[in-house]
Amino acid sequence: MTDQSSAAERVRRVAVELAALAQDGATFAADPYDQERYAQASALAAELFAVLTDRPADELRAELGRDSGYATPKVDVRGVLFDDDERVLLMRERSDGCWCPPGGWADPLDTPRAAAEREVREETGYGARAERLIACYDRDVQGHEPKLPVAVYKLFFLCRATGDVVPAEELETLEVGWFALDALPPLSRARVTEAQLRRALEHHRDPSLPVDVD
What is the tens place of the pLDDT at every residue in 33-54? 677 777 777 777 777 777 777 7
What is the tens place of the pLDDT at every residue in 175-190? 999 999 999 999 999 9
Is residue 162, in this structure, part of any structural domain at all? yes
Percent of the chain with pLDDT over 90: 54
Is residue 69, in this structure, part of any structural domain at all? no
Number of independent structural domains in the chain: 2
Domain final residue pick, 38, 64, 90 = 64
Mean local confidence (pLDDT), 153-182: 88
Domain housing 164:
74-213
Instruction: Quote the DSSP letter at residue 82.
Output: B
pLDDT for position 50: 73
What residues contact 116, with CB distance under 8 A and at least 6 apart? 77, 78, 79, 103, 128, 130, 155, 157, 159
Domain final residue pick, 19, 45, 64 = 64
CATH number at residue 100: 3.90.79.10
Whether residues 94 and 30 share a domain: the answer is: no
Give the phi and the psi of residue 20 in degrees, each rounded to 5.
Answer: -65, -40
Whether residues 127 and 190 share a domain: the answer is: yes
* Whether pLDDT at 86 is above 80: yes
* Amino acid present at 97: G
pLDDT for position 120: 95
What is the tens place of the pLDDT at every residue in 6-22? 777 777 777 777 776 77
* Amino acid present at 164: D
pLDDT for position 170: 64
Q: For residues 141 and 64, what is the distance between their CA atoms, to the nearest angstrom?
A: 21
Name the pLDDT band for 152 (thresholds 50, 70, 90): very high
